[in-house]
Structure 1
Amino acid sequence: MNRINLIALGVLNIEKARTFYKGLGFQCYDDSPDAPIIFFNNQGTKLELFPLEQLATDIAGDEPMKINREGFNGITLAMNAKKKEEVDDVMERARSLGAEIVKEPVIVSWGGYSGYFRDLDGYYWEVAYADAWAFDDQNMLVIDE
């Protein structure tokens, strides 16, 4: 097995998180106000919003798990754009939806154009573009070996 089907984010307020990600353009087909878990259909994977404390319980069962929301946990999520202008557009949409812009988009050392934001629950997202990137017919970034 060589795939990632779901990326689950533990969120403090599932309705605010749904509104945020829908505002960024993620497609969600369940708009019921009492949805226990929310899935967004993306090309290649699904993004899942899961109430944070319930996610911790799902992982640890009856053993209490410490939830740490401070600092950087070593994980970032990425949106790879097909045009440089898409980076600016996504960053502005994220800002307007309440995200913290951590790094404004700039030309970076590897030759691309990239910026970072933190979503409403503190997850770091990179939004990036590079002239040399190619995408397959499912809009997945092609990384040649």
Structure 2
Amino acid sequence: MNRINLICLGVRDIKKSLNFYRNIGFSTHENADEPPIVFFDNQGTKLELYPLDELAKDINAETPPPLSSGGFGGMTLACNMKSKEEVDAAMERVKQHGGVVVKPPQDVFWGGYSGYFQDPDGYYWEVAYASSWKFDRNDMLIIEART
């Protein structure tokens, strides 16, 4: 069970979220304007958008978990880049397409360059770079064991 194949985000407005993620560079084969579900193709995983209330019902049809009214849920998503310029460009695309930059990219305590944004549903994304990072042939970040 050592893999994550799919990350599902419950969204309040699937059309708005579909357009946002398309506009910031996520790729999908979906052609409908307002589909019941969306899958984006990524390197190593898929990102899924699904109506939030339906996702809660899928967890428990009789007693769905209460929907969050906002705030920080203790989870972030991340996109790791290969340069500071890529981080800056990604964050600019996010701003242009309705994302909210909550922490502009900056040099950070762990030696990298990082910023955070929120998508239309309030999910937090980190966009980061570190000069020490290496990527495999599929552009997946290599995390080496600490000695």
TM over 0.5: yes
- Normalising by the smaller structure, the TM-score range is over 0.9
TM-score, L = length of structure 2: 0.96
Supply the AA of the counterpart residue of 1:86: E
Question: Percent identity between the aligned chains?
Answer: 56
Q: Which runs of 5+ in 2 are unaligned?
A: none
Query: Could you say what secondary structure the match of 2:116 adopts?
Result: strand
- RMSD (Å), alpha carbons: 0.9
1:109 equivalent in structure 2 = 109
Q: State the alpha-carbon separation in 2 of the partners of residues 63 and 48 from structure 1.
A: 23
Q: SS at 2:2's partner residue?
A: coil
TM-score of the superposition, structure 1-length normalised? 0.97
1:65-101 Cα shifts (integer Å, max 9, x gaps): 2101321110000000011101001111111111111
- Residues 110-145 of structure 1, C-alpha deviations (whole Å, 9 max, x = no match): 110000001000000000000000011111100011
**1:9 counterpart letter in structure 2:** L
Between the aligned partners of 2:52 and 2:19, the Cα distance in structure 1 is 17
* Alignment length (residue pairs): 145
The one-letter code of the counterpart of 2:127 is V
- Structure 1 spans left out of the alignment, 5+ residues: none
Worse-matched range after superposition: 62-71 or 41-50: 62-71
Instruction: Please list, as runs of the form range in 1=range in 2, the aligned pairs for 1:85-100 lying within 5 A after superposition.
Output: 85-100=85-100
Q: Which moved more, 1:90-99 or 1:39-48?
A: 90-99
Cα distance in 1, alignment partners of residues 116 and 144 from structure 2: 25
Q: Please name the residue that 1:19 is paired with.
A: 19
After superposing on structure 2, the runs of 4+ consecutive aligned residues of structure 1 that deviate more than 4 Å are none
